[in-house]
């Protein structure tokens, strides 16, 4: 696997020539280090200019008029999920894997021990209904920082417990993905609580994604694994999500 830093290092070494260059990269004041820094600054500002740090609207408690309407899968039937649900998700583990330096296996206790964020937001389903609800969870960025994504990582893929379809080729499991800009957005959280109570099974227990600047189908419920990848081509039908594989937009911005 070639990463961006190694590529750059190769290019800079060629441009500056001489074999001492690799050693001098460890020197704080080296020209090479300054080159890395300016390159990364440039990439970041270009990304900010394009996407921005816009927040989704947030609401107050009085705006919560009804419970969050369950949609899609509401009761996964797999034996492993059922066993976990019956014991209050004590055995649940969130796996963080793929292009990361520090793969993680986190229990619900581990996740709830991390600093949390609470937000009251509106969920817009592509079918034409909306619900305002209060979500509490750990920022996805915090979990990713623990896992230390490699420089080649571009997407976070969410693998879910629910088989949403049973075809001739077997069960098709729900999955979704977002890019790392949305992944590190302040309102992108892994929610374990909703409207002041533990997340109900119907809404994705024990852990579901909230990515507030996009439509409801992006908000994967029943997440068991987050995989960091540099491409979406090898997953499902290659469009990055169960619904994108069926013709919906992968980037479902609202
Ligand atoms: N694992 C999984 N996640 C999912 C779905 C699903 O069927 N399975 N449905 C999606 C759709 S279309 C919507 S609108 C929301 C519904 O979330 P809710 O049940 O909490 O309202 O979850 C999304 N995430
Ligand atoms: Mo939806």
Q: Which ligand minimizes its atom distance to the CA of 71?
A: 1
Segments making up each domain of the chain, as ranges: 56-246
Question: Which ligand 1 atom is the nearest neighbour of the CA of 204?
Answer: 20
Tokens of 132: 């305002």
Q: Are 192 and 182 in contact (CB under 8 A)?
A: no
Task: Please give the CATH number for the structural domain made up of 56-246.
Answer: 3.90.420.10
- The residue whose CA is least distant from atom 5 of ligand 1 is 72
For the stretch 222-239, pLDDT in tens is 999 999 999 999 999 999
Ligand 1: which residues within 6 Å by Cβ?
68-73, 125, 160, 162, 164, 174, 203-204, 216-217, 219-222
Q: Are 182 and 213 in contact (CB under 8 A)?
A: yes
Phi, psi for residue 83 in degrees, rounded to 5: -60, -45
- The residue whose CA is least distant from atom 16 of ligand 1 is 71
Please list, in sequence order, all residues whose beta carbon lies within 8 angstroms of the beta carbon of residue 124, skipping any fewer than 6 positions away: 130, 215, 216, 254
Residue 56 CA neighbour count, 13 Å, CB half: 22
Helix (H, G, I), strand (E, B) or coil at 157: strand
- The residue whose CA is least distant from atom 8 of ligand 1 is 73
For the stretch 177-206, pLDDT in tens is 999 999 999 999 999 999 999 999 999 999
For the stretch 102-154, pLDDT in tens is 999 999 999 999 999 999 999 999 999 999 999 999 999 999 999 999 999 99
How many angstroms separate the CA atoms of 24 and 18, rounded?
Answer: 11
Other C-beta atoms lying within 10 Å of the C-beta of residue 219: 24
Predicted TM-score (pTM) above 0.85: no
């Amino acid at each position: 696997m070639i990463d961006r830093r190694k590529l750059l290092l190769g290019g800079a070494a060629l441009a500056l020539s001489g074999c001492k260059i690799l050693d001098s990269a460890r020197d704080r004041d080296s020209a090479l280090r300054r080159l890395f820094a300016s390159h990364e600054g440039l990439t970041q500002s270009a990304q900010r200019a394009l996407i921005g740090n816009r927040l989704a609207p947030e609401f107050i408690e009085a705006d919560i008029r009804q419970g969050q309407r369950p949609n899609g899968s509401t009761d996964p039937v797999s034996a492993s999920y059922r066993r976990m649900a019956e014991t209050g998700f004590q055995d649940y583990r969130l796996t963080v894997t793929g292009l990361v330096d520090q793969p993680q296996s986190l229990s619900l206790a581990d996740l709830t021990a991390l600093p949390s964020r609470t937000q009251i937001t509106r969920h817009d389903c592509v079918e034409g209904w909306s619900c305002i609800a209060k979500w509490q969870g750990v920022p996805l960025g915090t979990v990713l920082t623990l896992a230390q994504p490699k420089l080649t990582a571009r997407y976070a893929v969410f693998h879910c417990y629910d088989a949403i379809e049973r075809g001739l080729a077997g069960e098709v499991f729900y999955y979704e993905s977002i890019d790392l800009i949305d992944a590190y957005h302040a309102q992108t959280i892994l929610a374990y609580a909703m409207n002041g109570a533990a997340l109900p099974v119907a809404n994705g227990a024990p852990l579901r994604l909230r990515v507030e600047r996009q439509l409801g189908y992006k908000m994967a419920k029943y997440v068991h694994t987050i995989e960091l990848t540099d491409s979406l081509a090898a997953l499902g039908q290659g469009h990055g999500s169960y619904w994108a594989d069926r013709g919906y937009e992968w980037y479902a911005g609202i």
